[in-house]
């Protein structure tokens, strides 16, 4: 049998690890043990936002799912439109404005109390059940961890405190600092500036398919934590791998670092 070269071995390692729970979506050659030094997380692979939308159903019985779908779509649309037009508002304001729009569109009475109740739910987010153990495992592997999110510092700090994750992240980076949003390349550049590492030394863990595409386009090795089991976005770029939760991410990282 002919000996395997490093490229072939890495391909087999990733394929084998896919059988343990994640899907390899494109080659990840050159991202082995000597390369990946830090993992960047979007906020929502770590923090579970489902309680916000469960609350919407509680406040608007039978209409909560409809409200949530419009709200989430407009939430990101408003962010990007504000950024592109040069009239920046932060994640909190874009989220509140999109909630108001969604309620008006669906002809739902959004009282000041309900509006505040729904918005304040973003300050009560907690980690997904698998997140704390996965983060601790990655730290034990010697990896440096950070959050890189469009959410405001107030939301991110609350999520960390609510989840008892203080000290787990070397940097907690909000794109609010530079008044833009991912997938603006300047947003992804913030992590390079904070750590002083190269693109090749990062792995980005995305929650949304568009964010996975943005990070991959920027040049990061990218893992899509596809908790909602959504189809891949048709944006002309593919993340390196995907899985259902952070346990799958840990398996992927360990496979890479064994090469």
Domain for residue 27, yes or no?
Answer: no
CA triple 18-14-139, angle to 5 deg: 90
89 and 141 share a domain?
Answer: no
Domain for residue 29, yes or no?
Answer: no
Domain for residue 15, yes or no?
Answer: yes
**pLDDT for the residue numbered 19:** 37
3-state secondary structure labels for all residues of the chain? CCCCCHHHHHHHHHHHHHCCCEEECCCCCCCCCCCCCEEEECCCCCEECHHHHHHHHHHCCCCHHHHHHHHHHHHHHHHHHHHHHCCCCCHHHHHHHHHHHHHHHCCCCCCHHHHHHHHHHHHCCEECCCHHHHHHHHHHCCCEEEEEECCCHHHHHHHHHHCCCCCCCCEEEEHHHHCCCCCCHHHHHHHHHHHCCCHHHEEEEECCHHHHHHHHHHCCEEEEECCCCCCCCCCCCCCCEEECCHHHHHHHHHHHHCC
39 and 57 share a domain?
Answer: no
Tell which of 107, 123, 139 closes a domain: 123
Question: Considering only CA atoms, which of 125, 119, 117, 99 is closest in space to residue 43?
Answer: 125
Helix axes 64-85, 91-105, angle to 10 degrees: 130
For residue 34, is pLDDT > 80? no
Bridge partners of residue 39, in order along the sequence: 145, 203
- Tell me whether residue 42 is one of the annotated catalytic residues: yes
Identify whether the C-beta of residue 247 lies closer than 8 Å to the C-beta of residue 21: yes
**pLDDT for the residue numbered 14:** 39
pLDDT tens string 205-221: 999 999 999 999 999 99
**pLDDT for the residue numbered 3:** 39
pLDDT tens string 185-195: 999 999 999 99
Domain for residue 202, yes or no?
Answer: yes
**pLDDT for the residue numbered 1:** 36
Using pLDDT thresholds of 50, 70 and 90, give the confidence band for residue 24. low
193 and 71 share a domain?
Answer: no
Tell which of 92, 123, 154 closes a domain: 123
What domain range includes position 72?
50-123
Bridge partners of residue 127, in order along the sequence: 47
Predicted TM-score (pTM) above 0.85: yes
Domain for residue 160, yes or no?
Answer: yes
Measure the CA–CA gap between 181 and 152, rounded to whole angstroms.
Answer: 11
Residue whose structure tokens are 């008006």: 104
Q: Which of 42, 176, 184, 248 is catalytic?
A: 42
């Amino acid at each position: 049998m002919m000996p395997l070269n490093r490229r072939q071995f890495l391909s087999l390692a990733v394929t084998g690890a896919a059988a343990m729970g994640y899907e390899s979506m494109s080659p990840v050659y050159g991202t082995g043990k000597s390369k990946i030094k830090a993992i960047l997380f979007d906020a929502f692979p770590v923090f579970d936002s489902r309680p916000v939308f469960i609350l919407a159903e509680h406040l608007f019985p039978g209409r909560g799912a409809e409200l949530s779908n419009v709200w989430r779509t407009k939430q990101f649309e408003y962010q990007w439109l504000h950024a592109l037009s040069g009239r920046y508002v932060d994640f909190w304001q874009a989220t509140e404005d999109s909630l108001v729009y969604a309620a008006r569109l669906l002809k739902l009475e959004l009282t000041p109390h309900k509006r505040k109740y729904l918005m304040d739910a973003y300050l009560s987010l907690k980690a997904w059940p698998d997140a704390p153990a996965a983060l601790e495992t990655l730290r034990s592997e010697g990896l440096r961890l950070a959050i890189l999110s469009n959410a405001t510092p107030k939301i991110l700090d609350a999520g960390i405190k609510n989840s008892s994750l203080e000290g787990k992240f070397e940097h907690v980076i909000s794109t609010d600092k530079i008044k833009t949003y991912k997938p603006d390349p300047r947003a992804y550049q913030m992590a390079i500036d904070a750590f002083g590492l190269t693109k090749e030394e990062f792995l980005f863990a995305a929650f949304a398919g568009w964010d996975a595409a943005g990070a991959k386009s920027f040049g990061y090795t990218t893992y899509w934590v596809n908790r909602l089991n959504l189809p891949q976005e048709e944006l002309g770029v593919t993340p390196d791998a995907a899985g259902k939760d952070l346990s799958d991410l840990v398996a992927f990282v360990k496979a890479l670092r064994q090469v």
